[in-house]
A and B are shown apart, each in its own frame.
Chain A
Amino acid sequence: MTPPDDTGAGGRPVRAPGTRRLMEHRLFWPAAVLAALLVGNVVFTHDFLAVRVQNGHLYGSLIDILQFGAPLILVSLGMTLVIATRGIDLSVGSTVAIAGALACEHIATAKDPGSLSTVLSAIALAVGVAAAIGLLNGFLVARLGVQPIIATLVLMVAGRGVAQLITDGQIISVSSSAYKMIGGGYWLTLPFAVLLAAALVAVTSLVTRRTALGLLIESVGGNPVASRLVGIRAVGLLVMVYVVSAVCAAVAGLMISSNVSSADGNNAGLWIELDAILAVVIGGTALTGGRFSLGGTVLGALIIQTLSTTIYTLGVPPETTLVFKALVVIVVCLVQSPAFRARLSRRRRTAAPDPASAAGDLTARRQEVHP
């Protein structure tokens, strides 16, 4: 029953101009913020973007950002999937500490700390225990229906205690060149940690987007009731994302402890869960679940790491670094908010002398309320 009159306006596609389409791309604002931070650094530190080769390794601030950002990228990667299901995982920081503590304890007490087999079994131990942590979180959330923020708060608090039990309250130092490789080594001129993080990001992207996993996760997060009525088994998906999140945190924990060749149950991964949540949100995945963007999360994590690096290079006094970081984060979030940008440009328009040109101006307001 198509009405013969097809010239009507309703549903007629309207092509936006190229620049506007670019600005509406979901990664535009995270990328723009990152670029702005990097450019800002160049103003203060002229060779900030310089990368040089030394002993066959690449060196420079950019490489440092990637290397020190790798653990955060990994934790944020798992966090993205959890948040996409409408959940949150506060226990990742503790998992980072537990994984590092387990691996270092295992290596320190082994007969041959330098051997590959010791390091591999240490890795397997850490990842295995992390998977069990993820299973517990997933069980609490998916089977018992505990609110994710409460379910994972349990291990956020208790997990740090467990990590200290493992290290006996001490900082365990290890000397194992094979273990050092994970967080401090180089391969193909690049830090191994960067390659490892890149590989895990790539695998996660492939698995979520080439299979239907991403779609089903977005569906469960976007509308759990409708997802049940459409026949999606949410329990398995939920358990899976919490396991992935914990395993990502474990690998991050290995990187951090490997880089400093020691495990500190007290401070390793402290507050990293908050940075990860922030990275996910800056990257464009809403805390209310649904659509997620792994690329956005990587950009978000890099923004946070660049910010930390900036603070050091600018020489912000240590007692004000957290306040400085908070201010920048607020600005970043405001810049990304369509509502805030609309208000800004509306103010500009009211100030503009020529209202006629403003009438057709669409760039001010992205679609917030649906037609």
Chain B
Amino acid sequence: MGELLKVERLQIAFRGDQGETISVEDVSFAIQPGETMAIVGESGCGKSVTSLAIMGLLGASGSIKRGYISFLDTNLTAASEQQLRKMRGSQVSMIFQEPMTSLNPVMPIGRQIEEALRLHLKSSRKEARQSAIDMLRKVGIPRPETIAKAYPHMLSGGMRQRVMIAIALICQPKLLIADEPTTALDVTIQAQIIELMQTLQAENGTAILLVTHDLGVVAAMADHVAVMYAGQIVEAADVYTLFRSPRHPYTQGLMNSIPRLDAISGGRAPAIPGQVPSLHEMPTGCRFHPRCPYAEASCRELQPELMETGDRHRVRCWLTETSEADQIAVHRDTRQKVAL
């Protein structure tokens, strides 16, 4: 089976007061039908911008400068606005981080769900209402007939995120883009939403592009993971490989800095020093080198490419080329022992 979505050497720029800034640089990945691909990274790393680019929702100030996005063998970067609209909400849909503000406050919930059906499948008012109620029931909303007539402010954050999922999945899209779907929710509600997305994915075979900063959510849901730092993918692998043997120093740092529940309290988390660089003052060479404990002279001067290191594991680091990669892995093991 071919790829559902293929993103190839994508570069995205935004026009602003200080001229043009490149917020995403040389991003390539692919999603197979039905799988879950996660993009992980910190704020400003370009993960949300990448997902908006797939939707064609970069807005007036953003544009794709280079590379292409193909979805079901259609080149989206060359598609007309009308073609993109036809695809949005029917083939690809999206849920967002803020369930509190992502629903129209003055429109009843049922109508917000029906809208896409009426638009894309040309359903009648009655059919659409029935499908909306069925969908609300599917996403676990109690008393769906009543809730369809209710307004968003009457629902809790978790319930609103369920409504967002209902809106996104009503036309049975092939791809669901979930941008920090659980970040604004309480942890108990997070667990409910993750379970719901997984159930619906299994039922409909929807592929999910999960955009998040939360490695816990990634570990719970993803099949493949791409780690982004400062606008670039720095490491990509299947989820087990990535968590078992992360090879990029940034990925390793991220994993080490999560306080683990199975660690001892009162210990210290090995933090990554320094700050995420701003888009206006990107470091030369490897973008992570000012924070990297292993940086060498070459890292300061030359930008590494994302290189295949075997078994679909790609890493953007000079050190993985040499035997030092293994040293890093060893180093990490010892550090873990120290932490214990």
| A, B from the same assembly | no
Residues on A facing B (Cβ under 8 Å): none
